[in-house]
């Protein structure tokens, strides 16, 4: 079984494909997974996570997300990331890039908690 860092890297890499964000949740979330964009959204489980993704795709026009992993480290089953997430529309154009820090807590190869912290200013432009 892949280690925590490899699991998070695979999870994030899946977002680069159309439909990949939803597919990554279906593969790596549990029914109890807590996903939080701190100060903005909080979901529990696969279905709520998929609902949030659908809102991103439909409301913001996100077709896929290209991730630049700047740094990644683990302390046991907790993985810390520094990333730049590039939101890409259906035309293949990056329309917003977010610098953020993420914390993933894993159990038995699944993500049980995920928190992202980022500046929301790019969404206000």
The CA distances from residue 121 to 46, 68, 76, 97, in Å, are 28, 19, 33, 11
One of 68, 77, 85, 108 is an active-site residue; which one? Answer: 85
The CA distances from residue 38 to 86, 100, 115, 120, in Å, are 18, 11, 7, 10
One of 77, 108, 116, 119 is an active-site residue; which one? Answer: 116
Is 85 catalytic? The answer is: yes
Residue with token string 């480290």: 73
Is 108 catalytic? The answer is: no
Active site residues: 85, 116
């Amino acid at each position: 079984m892949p280690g925590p860092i490899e699991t998070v890297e695979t999870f994030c890499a899946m977002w680069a494909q159309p439909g990949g964000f939803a597919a990554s949740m279906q593969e790596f979330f549990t029914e109890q997974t807590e996903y939080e964009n701190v100060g903005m959204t909080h979901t529990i489980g696969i279905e709520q996570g998929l609902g949030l993704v659908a809102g991103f795709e439909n409301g913001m026009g996100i077709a896929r997300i290209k991730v630049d992993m700047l740094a990644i480290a683990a302390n046991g089953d907790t993985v810390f990331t520094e990333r730049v997430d590039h939101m890409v529309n259906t035309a293949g154009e990056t329309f917003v890039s977010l610098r953020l820090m993420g914390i993933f807590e894993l159990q038995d190869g699944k993500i049980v908690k995920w928190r992202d912290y980022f500046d929301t200013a790019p969404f206000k432009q």
